[in-house]
Amino acid sequence: MEVRAELSASVWKVEVTVGAAVAKGDELVILESMKMEIPVEAPADGTVTELRVAPEDQVSEGDVLVVLDPI
């Protein structure tokens, strides 16, 4: 399951690591746009299999941020 950016922003913080178990609603990444912090949450329970961003990366709307293997 791919978790995508909902807007163009910069990556402020990555809250998870590959292999981490996450629950629906857990924060995965925090984006920053126009001095606002926007949390990106897990849409379902799962395991992080891939991180495609790092702090200070610039992302566009629709870019894949994290890949989850749903439970």
Residue 50 has pLDDT above 90, yes or no: yes
pLDDT number for residue 65: 98
Q: Which two three-digit tokens encode residue 14?
A: 């990555």
pLDDT number for residue 71: 87
Q: How wide is the angle at C-alpha 56 spanned by C-alphas 70 and 37, nearest 5°?
A: 70
2-56 CATH pick, 2.130.10.10, 2.40.50.100, 3.40.50.970, 2.60.120.10: 2.40.50.100
Residue 20 has pLDDT above 90, yes or no: yes
Residue 25 has pLDDT above 90, yes or no: yes
Percent of the chain clearing pLDDT 70 (strictly above): 100
Task: Report the chain's C-alpha Rg in angstroms.
Answer: 11
Average the pLDDT over 52-69 and give the result: 98
